Amino acid sequence: MKTCYWKLQGNSEDAEIFRKAGELIRQGEVVAFPTETVYGLGANGLNPEAVAKIFAAKGRPQDNPLIMHIARKEDIAQLTTGLNANAEKIMEHFMPGPLTMIVPKAPIVPDVTSAGLDTVGVRFPGNKYAQEFIRACGCPIAAPSANISGRPSPTNAQDVLEDMDGKIAAIIDGGACGVGLESTVVDTTSPIPTICRPGGVTYEMLTEALGAMEIDPALMGDKNFKPKAPGMKYRHYAPKEPVYLLEGEAVALLPELVAKAVAQGIKIGVLCSSAMAAQLPQSPQVLLSCWGDSREQLAGDLFYLLRDFDRTKPEVILAQGVSEDGIGLAIMNRLRKAAGYQIITLEKGTLILKNGKQLPGFMIE
Protein backbone atom coordinates (compact mmCIF):
# COMPACT_ATOMS: atom_id res chain seq x y z
CA MET A 1 0.00 0.00 0.00
CA LYS A 2 1.25 3.50 -0.80
CA THR A 3 1.06 5.73 2.27
CA CYS A 4 0.09 9.36 1.52
CA TYR A 5 2.05 11.90 3.57
CA TRP A 6 0.28 15.22 4.13
CA LYS A 7 1.96 18.12 5.89
CA LEU A 8 -0.35 20.65 7.53
CA GLN A 9 0.63 24.27 6.91
CA GLY A 10 -1.64 26.06 9.37
CA ASN A 11 -3.43 27.82 6.48
CA SER A 12 -6.58 27.39 4.38
CA GLU A 13 -5.04 24.51 2.38
CA ASP A 14 -5.31 22.29 5.45
CA ALA A 15 -9.07 21.95 4.90
CA GLU A 16 -8.43 19.84 1.79
CA ILE A 17 -6.15 17.50 3.77
CA PHE A 18 -8.81 16.96 6.43
CA ARG A 19 -11.45 16.41 3.73
CA LYS A 20 -9.34 13.69 2.05
CA ALA A 21 -8.49 12.11 5.42
CA GLY A 22 -12.18 12.02 6.41
CA GLU A 23 -13.02 10.33 3.13
CA LEU A 24 -10.38 7.62 3.71
CA ILE A 25 -11.75 6.99 7.21
CA ARG A 26 -15.32 6.66 5.90
CA GLN A 27 -13.99 4.13 3.37
CA GLY A 28 -12.66 2.05 6.28
CA GLU A 29 -8.99 3.01 5.98
CA VAL A 30 -6.41 3.87 8.67
CA VAL A 31 -4.96 7.40 8.95
CA ALA A 32 -2.29 8.58 11.43
CA PHE A 33 -2.93 12.00 13.00
CA PRO A 34 -1.29 14.33 15.55
CA THR A 35 -2.61 14.88 19.07
CA GLU A 36 -1.15 16.84 22.02
CA THR A 37 0.12 13.57 23.56
CA VAL A 38 1.45 11.30 20.81
CA TYR A 39 0.47 10.50 17.21
CA GLY A 40 -2.59 8.27 16.87
CA LEU A 41 -3.42 5.53 14.36
CA GLY A 42 -7.07 6.30 13.60
CA ALA A 43 -9.94 4.36 12.07
CA ASN A 44 -13.75 4.43 12.33
CA GLY A 45 -14.20 2.96 15.82
CA LEU A 46 -17.69 1.69 14.99
CA ASN A 47 -16.51 -0.31 11.94
CA PRO A 48 -14.99 -3.67 12.99
CA GLU A 49 -13.17 -4.22 9.66
CA ALA A 50 -11.53 -0.79 9.86
CA VAL A 51 -10.52 -1.38 13.49
CA ALA A 52 -9.01 -4.76 12.56
CA LYS A 53 -6.67 -2.90 10.17
CA ILE A 54 -5.27 -0.92 13.12
CA PHE A 55 -4.39 -4.12 14.98
CA ALA A 56 -2.75 -5.51 11.82
CA ALA A 57 -0.68 -2.37 11.11
CA LYS A 58 0.65 -2.21 14.69
CA GLY A 59 1.01 -5.94 15.31
CA ARG A 60 -1.05 -5.29 18.44
CA PRO A 61 -2.34 -8.12 20.68
CA GLN A 62 -6.13 -8.53 20.30
CA ASP A 63 -6.70 -8.35 24.07
CA ASN A 64 -5.59 -4.72 24.25
CA PRO A 65 -8.56 -2.31 23.87
CA LEU A 66 -8.48 0.92 21.84
CA ILE A 67 -9.46 4.42 22.95
CA MET A 68 -12.37 6.16 21.20
CA HIS A 69 -11.60 9.79 20.25
CA ILE A 70 -14.32 12.42 19.99
CA ALA A 71 -14.28 16.15 19.21
CA ARG A 72 -17.47 17.34 20.91
CA LYS A 73 -18.46 16.54 24.48
CA GLU A 74 -21.95 15.42 23.48
CA ASP A 75 -20.51 12.69 21.27
CA ILE A 76 -19.68 10.62 24.35
CA ALA A 77 -23.40 9.87 24.86
CA GLN A 78 -23.63 7.29 22.04
CA LEU A 79 -20.56 5.39 23.35
CA THR A 80 -21.66 4.80 26.95
CA THR A 81 -24.67 3.54 28.90
CA GLY A 82 -24.15 6.42 31.32
CA LEU A 83 -21.71 8.59 33.27
CA ASN A 84 -21.49 8.70 37.06
CA ALA A 85 -20.72 11.85 39.07
CA ASN A 86 -16.94 11.33 38.90
CA ALA A 87 -17.07 10.90 35.13
CA GLU A 88 -19.12 14.09 34.80
CA LYS A 89 -16.56 16.00 36.88
CA ILE A 90 -13.67 14.68 34.82
CA MET A 91 -15.45 15.78 31.62
CA GLU A 92 -16.00 19.24 33.03
CA HIS A 93 -12.43 19.75 34.29
CA PHE A 94 -10.19 17.87 31.85
CA MET A 95 -11.89 17.56 28.47
CA PRO A 96 -10.59 18.48 26.01
CA GLY A 97 -7.11 17.48 27.19
CA PRO A 98 -4.54 14.72 27.64
CA LEU A 99 -6.86 12.33 29.48
CA THR A 100 -8.82 9.14 28.70
CA MET A 101 -11.80 8.16 30.78
CA ILE A 102 -12.92 4.53 31.15
CA VAL A 103 -16.73 4.36 31.17
CA PRO A 104 -19.41 1.64 30.77
CA LYS A 105 -19.62 0.68 27.10
CA ALA A 106 -22.74 1.06 24.93
CA PRO A 107 -23.62 -1.89 22.62
CA ILE A 108 -22.77 0.21 19.51
CA VAL A 109 -19.04 -0.11 20.31
CA PRO A 110 -17.79 -3.29 18.62
CA ASP A 111 -16.00 -5.97 20.65
CA VAL A 112 -12.86 -5.67 18.54
CA THR A 113 -12.53 -2.00 19.63
CA SER A 114 -13.02 -2.68 23.35
CA ALA A 115 -11.24 -6.08 23.29
CA GLY A 116 -14.43 -7.66 24.56
CA LEU A 117 -14.54 -5.57 27.78
CA ASP A 118 -17.81 -4.06 28.99
CA THR A 119 -16.08 -0.68 29.35
CA VAL A 120 -14.61 1.72 26.78
CA GLY A 121 -11.96 4.44 26.96
CA VAL A 122 -13.04 7.86 25.64
CA ARG A 123 -10.76 10.80 24.94
CA PHE A 124 -11.41 14.33 23.66
CA PRO A 125 -7.98 15.57 22.55
CA GLY A 126 -7.06 19.22 23.02
CA ASN A 127 -4.96 19.48 19.86
CA LYS A 128 -6.87 21.52 17.27
CA TYR A 129 -5.63 19.42 14.34
CA ALA A 130 -6.84 16.26 16.08
CA GLN A 131 -10.22 17.92 16.60
CA GLU A 132 -10.48 19.04 12.96
CA PHE A 133 -9.55 15.55 11.78
CA ILE A 134 -12.16 13.84 13.99
CA ARG A 135 -14.87 16.30 12.93
CA ALA A 136 -14.01 15.74 9.26
CA CYS A 137 -14.47 11.98 9.79
CA GLY A 138 -17.90 12.37 11.34
CA CYS A 139 -17.54 9.28 13.55
CA PRO A 140 -15.72 8.34 16.77
CA ILE A 141 -12.10 7.52 15.95
CA ALA A 142 -10.53 4.46 17.55
CA ALA A 143 -6.83 5.23 17.89
CA PRO A 144 -3.87 3.70 19.66
CA SER A 145 -0.44 5.33 19.55
CA ALA A 146 0.95 5.14 16.00
CA ASN A 147 3.96 2.93 16.76
CA ILE A 148 4.63 -0.73 16.02
CA SER A 149 3.56 -2.54 19.20
CA GLY A 150 6.31 -2.48 21.83
CA ARG A 151 8.21 0.51 20.38
CA PRO A 152 8.21 4.01 21.90
CA SER A 153 5.14 6.03 20.84
CA PRO A 154 5.82 8.51 18.00
CA THR A 155 5.80 12.19 18.91
CA ASN A 156 6.52 13.46 15.40
CA ALA A 157 5.33 12.42 11.94
CA GLN A 158 8.77 11.17 10.80
CA ASP A 159 8.71 8.57 13.57
CA VAL A 160 5.23 7.51 12.43
CA LEU A 161 6.52 7.13 8.88
CA GLU A 162 9.42 5.00 10.14
CA ASP A 163 6.97 2.50 11.71
CA MET A 164 3.95 2.72 9.38
CA ASP A 165 5.17 3.43 5.83
CA GLY A 166 3.36 1.08 3.44
CA LYS A 167 0.99 -0.22 6.12
CA ILE A 168 -1.65 2.55 6.34
CA ALA A 169 -3.46 4.86 3.91
CA ALA A 170 -2.14 8.24 5.11
CA ILE A 171 -0.16 10.23 7.68
CA ILE A 172 -1.14 13.77 8.66
CA ASP A 173 1.97 15.69 9.75
CA GLY A 174 1.01 18.34 12.32
CA GLY A 175 4.49 18.86 13.80
CA ALA A 176 5.74 17.80 17.22
CA CYS A 177 3.33 16.75 19.99
CA GLY A 178 3.46 19.00 23.07
CA VAL A 179 2.93 16.74 26.09
CA GLY A 180 4.89 13.88 24.55
CA LEU A 181 3.52 11.10 26.81
CA GLU A 182 0.24 9.26 26.25
CA SER A 183 -2.92 10.46 27.98
CA THR A 184 -3.68 9.78 31.63
CA VAL A 185 -6.10 6.83 31.73
CA VAL A 186 -8.66 7.07 34.54
CA ASP A 187 -11.14 4.31 35.35
CA THR A 188 -14.33 6.04 36.49
CA THR A 189 -16.21 2.75 37.04
CA SER A 190 -14.36 1.79 40.25
CA PRO A 191 -15.72 3.11 43.60
CA ILE A 192 -12.71 5.43 43.85
CA PRO A 193 -11.53 6.65 40.43
CA THR A 194 -8.25 4.94 39.54
CA ILE A 195 -5.29 6.05 37.45
CA CYS A 196 -4.47 3.09 35.17
CA ARG A 197 -1.81 5.01 33.24
CA PRO A 198 -0.25 8.29 34.47
CA GLY A 199 0.05 11.13 31.94
CA GLY A 200 -0.19 14.87 31.36
CA VAL A 201 -3.20 15.28 33.66
CA THR A 202 -1.42 14.55 36.93
CA TYR A 203 -2.47 12.74 40.11
CA GLU A 204 -2.32 16.11 41.90
CA MET A 205 -4.64 17.79 39.37
CA LEU A 206 -7.14 14.92 39.58
CA THR A 207 -7.10 14.82 43.38
CA GLU A 208 -7.76 18.54 43.51
CA ALA A 209 -10.78 18.24 41.23
CA LEU A 210 -12.23 14.92 42.47
CA GLY A 211 -11.00 14.37 46.01
CA ALA A 212 -9.83 10.77 46.53
CA MET A 213 -7.93 9.05 43.68
CA GLU A 214 -6.21 5.67 43.53
CA ILE A 215 -3.22 4.63 41.49
CA ASP A 216 -3.28 1.10 40.01
CA PRO A 217 -0.67 -0.79 42.13
CA ALA A 218 0.38 -2.81 39.06
CA LEU A 219 2.00 0.38 37.69
CA MET A 220 4.93 -0.11 40.05
CA GLY A 221 5.91 -3.33 38.29
CA ASP A 222 4.69 -5.63 41.07
CA LYS A 223 3.97 -8.94 39.31
CA ASN A 224 1.37 -9.83 41.98
CA PHE A 225 -1.03 -7.28 40.50
CA LYS A 226 -2.73 -7.51 37.12
CA PRO A 227 -2.87 -4.06 35.47
CA LYS A 228 -6.35 -2.56 35.03
CA ALA A 229 -5.33 -1.25 31.61
CA PRO A 230 -4.45 -4.38 29.60
CA GLY A 231 -1.84 -2.42 27.62
CA MET A 232 0.22 -1.71 30.73
CA LYS A 233 1.33 -5.33 31.03
CA TYR A 234 3.48 -5.30 27.91
CA ARG A 235 7.14 -4.23 27.83
CA HIS A 236 6.86 -1.01 26.00
CA TYR A 237 8.67 2.14 25.07
CA ALA A 238 11.71 -0.03 24.76
CA PRO A 239 14.81 0.69 22.73
CA LYS A 240 16.42 -2.48 21.35
CA GLU A 241 19.35 -2.33 23.83
CA PRO A 242 19.21 -3.18 27.58
CA VAL A 243 18.26 -0.16 29.69
CA TYR A 244 19.07 0.36 33.38
CA LEU A 245 17.27 3.09 35.30
CA LEU A 246 19.08 4.83 38.18
CA GLU A 247 16.75 5.98 40.93
CA GLY A 248 17.18 8.07 44.09
CA GLU A 249 20.73 8.47 45.38
CA ALA A 250 22.08 6.15 42.68
CA VAL A 251 21.64 9.03 40.21
CA ALA A 252 24.67 10.83 41.69
CA LEU A 253 26.86 7.86 40.70
CA LEU A 254 26.05 8.19 36.99
CA PRO A 255 29.37 9.93 36.07
CA GLU A 256 31.35 7.23 37.87
CA LEU A 257 29.46 4.38 36.16
CA VAL A 258 29.87 5.97 32.75
CA ALA A 259 33.62 6.32 33.38
CA LYS A 260 33.80 2.61 34.27
CA ALA A 261 32.03 1.63 31.05
CA VAL A 262 34.33 3.85 28.98
CA ALA A 263 37.43 2.36 30.67
CA GLN A 264 36.21 -1.09 29.63
CA GLY A 265 35.69 -0.09 26.01
CA ILE A 266 31.88 -0.25 26.18
CA LYS A 267 29.72 1.98 23.96
CA ILE A 268 27.36 3.40 26.54
CA GLY A 269 24.11 5.28 25.93
CA VAL A 270 23.11 7.82 28.57
CA LEU A 271 19.68 9.41 28.91
CA CYS A 272 20.10 12.38 31.25
CA SER A 273 19.59 16.10 31.83
CA SER A 274 21.98 18.57 30.20
CA ALA A 275 23.21 19.50 33.71
CA MET A 276 24.18 15.85 34.30
CA ALA A 277 25.71 15.56 30.82
CA ALA A 278 28.17 18.32 31.73
CA GLN A 279 29.52 16.10 34.53
CA LEU A 280 30.06 13.00 32.37
CA PRO A 281 33.41 11.93 30.91
CA GLN A 282 33.73 13.07 27.30
CA SER A 283 34.38 10.21 24.91
CA PRO A 284 33.17 9.03 21.52
CA GLN A 285 32.01 5.90 23.38
CA VAL A 286 29.45 7.95 25.31
CA LEU A 287 26.25 8.34 23.27
CA LEU A 288 24.15 11.03 24.89
CA SER A 289 20.40 11.60 24.67
CA CYS A 290 19.85 14.76 26.69
CA TRP A 291 16.85 16.72 27.79
CA GLY A 292 16.81 20.41 28.69
CA ASP A 293 16.17 21.87 32.09
CA SER A 294 12.62 20.93 32.99
CA ARG A 295 10.77 17.67 33.43
CA GLU A 296 8.13 18.99 31.01
CA GLN A 297 10.87 19.10 28.37
CA LEU A 298 11.87 15.57 29.28
CA ALA A 299 8.25 14.39 28.89
CA GLY A 300 8.05 16.10 25.50
CA ASP A 301 11.31 14.57 24.24
CA LEU A 302 11.39 11.23 26.07
CA PHE A 303 10.11 8.94 23.31
CA TYR A 304 12.20 10.69 20.68
CA LEU A 305 15.27 10.35 22.90
CA LEU A 306 14.57 6.63 23.44
CA ARG A 307 14.13 6.08 19.72
CA ASP A 308 17.42 7.91 19.16
CA PHE A 309 19.28 5.01 20.77
CA ASP A 310 18.07 2.76 17.95
CA ARG A 311 19.93 5.16 15.66
CA THR A 312 23.13 5.62 17.72
CA LYS A 313 23.25 1.94 18.79
CA PRO A 314 24.98 1.79 22.19
CA GLU A 315 25.61 -1.64 23.81
CA VAL A 316 23.85 -0.67 27.02
CA ILE A 317 21.88 2.37 28.23
CA LEU A 318 21.82 4.11 31.60
CA ALA A 319 18.87 6.41 32.32
CA GLN A 320 18.68 9.10 34.99
CA GLY A 321 15.53 8.90 37.14
CA VAL A 322 13.59 12.01 38.24
CA SER A 323 11.33 12.82 41.19
CA GLU A 324 7.81 11.44 41.00
CA ASP A 325 5.60 14.41 41.76
CA GLY A 326 3.50 16.04 39.00
CA ILE A 327 4.48 14.90 35.49
CA GLY A 328 7.34 12.92 37.13
CA LEU A 329 4.97 10.01 37.88
CA ALA A 330 4.23 9.55 34.17
CA ILE A 331 7.89 9.97 33.18
CA MET A 332 9.06 7.38 35.73
CA ASN A 333 6.30 4.96 34.69
CA ARG A 334 7.52 5.09 31.06
CA LEU A 335 11.20 4.92 32.07
CA ARG A 336 10.61 1.88 34.31
CA LYS A 337 8.82 0.11 31.50
CA ALA A 338 11.53 1.05 29.00
CA ALA A 339 14.03 -0.45 31.45
CA GLY A 340 11.93 -3.61 31.85
CA TYR A 341 12.00 -2.74 35.60
CA GLN A 342 15.79 -3.07 35.74
CA ILE A 343 16.08 -0.41 38.44
CA ILE A 344 19.36 0.41 40.18
CA THR A 345 19.26 2.03 43.62
CA LEU A 346 21.84 2.83 46.28
CA GLU A 347 21.23 1.02 49.55
CA LYS A 348 23.58 1.41 52.51
CA GLY A 349 26.30 2.70 50.19
CA THR A 350 25.96 -0.26 47.78
CA LEU A 351 24.44 -0.27 44.31
CA ILE A 352 21.79 -2.94 43.88
CA LEU A 353 19.57 -4.08 41.03
CA LYS A 354 16.03 -4.10 42.42
CA ASN A 355 14.73 -7.20 40.63
CA GLY A 356 17.28 -9.27 42.58
CA LYS A 357 19.45 -9.95 39.53
CA GLN A 358 23.20 -9.23 39.15
CA LEU A 359 24.34 -5.72 38.26
CA PRO A 360 25.73 -5.52 34.70
CA GLY A 361 29.33 -6.74 34.57
CA PHE A 362 30.98 -3.39 33.86
CA MET A 363 29.61 -1.96 37.10
CA ILE A 364 31.04 -4.71 39.27
CA GLU A 365 34.59 -4.87 37.89
Is residue 54 part of the contact set for ligand TXA (CB under 6 A)? Answer: no
Q: Which stretch binds Mg ion (CB under 5 A): 48-56, 139-147, 195-203, 312-320?
A: 139-147
Q: Which is nearer to ligand TXA, 51 or 318 (CB)?
A: 51
Is residue 145 part of the contact set for Mg ion (CB under 5 A)? Answer: yes
Helix axes 14-26, 128-137, angle to 10 degrees: 50
Residue 29 to residues 8, 50, 244: CA-CA distances in angstroms?
20, 6, 39
Is residue 127 part of the contact set for Mg ion (CB under 5 A)? Answer: no
Q: Which stretch binds Mg ion (CB under 5 A): 52-60, 104-112, 141-149, 158-166?
A: 141-149
Helix axes 328-338, 295-312, angle to 10 degrees: 20
Q: How far is the CB of 142 from Mg ion (least distance, A)?
A: 13
Is residue 151 part of the contact set for ligand TXA (CB under 6 A)? Answer: no
Is residue 100 part of the contact set for ligand TXA (CB under 6 A)? Answer: yes
Is residue 197 part of the contact set for ligand TXA (CB under 6 A)? Answer: yes
Residue 285 to residues 40, 245, 273: CA-CA distances in angstroms?
35, 19, 18
- Residue 76: which of 172, 188, 201 has the closest Cα? 188
The binder of 337, among Mg ion, ligand TXA, none, by C-beta within 5 to 8 A per type, is: none
Interface pick for ligand TXA out of 163, 182, 247, 308 (rule CB under 6 A): 182
Q: Which is nearer to Mg ion, 147 or 289 (CB)?
A: 147
What's the angle, vertex CA 197, arms to CA 352 and CA 223, rounded to 5? Answer: 45
Q: Which is nearer to Mg ion, 155 or 320 (CB)?
A: 155
Give dist(CA 65, CA 83) in Å, integer: 19
The binder of 353, among Mg ion, ligand TXA, none, by C-beta within 5 to 8 A per type, is: none
Q: How far is the CB of 113 from ligand TXA (least distance, A)?
A: 9
Q: Which is nearer to Mg ion, 145 or 333 (CB)?
A: 145
Neighbour-count burial for 273-300, b at 16+ CB within 10 Å, e otherwise: beebbeebeeeebbbbbbbeeebbebbb
Residue 344 to residues 117, 303, 319, 350, 359: CA-CA distances in angstroms?
37, 21, 10, 10, 8
Which burial class, exposed, middle or buried, applies to 161 when counting CB atoms under 10 A from its CB (0-12, 13-18, 19+)?
A: middle
Please report, as ranges, the residues that interact with Mg ion according to CB under 5 A: 145
Please report, as ranges, the residues that interact with ligand TXA according to CB under 6 A: 35, 37-38, 40, 64-67, 100, 102, 114, 117, 119-121, 123, 143-145, 182-183, 185, 196-197, 228-232
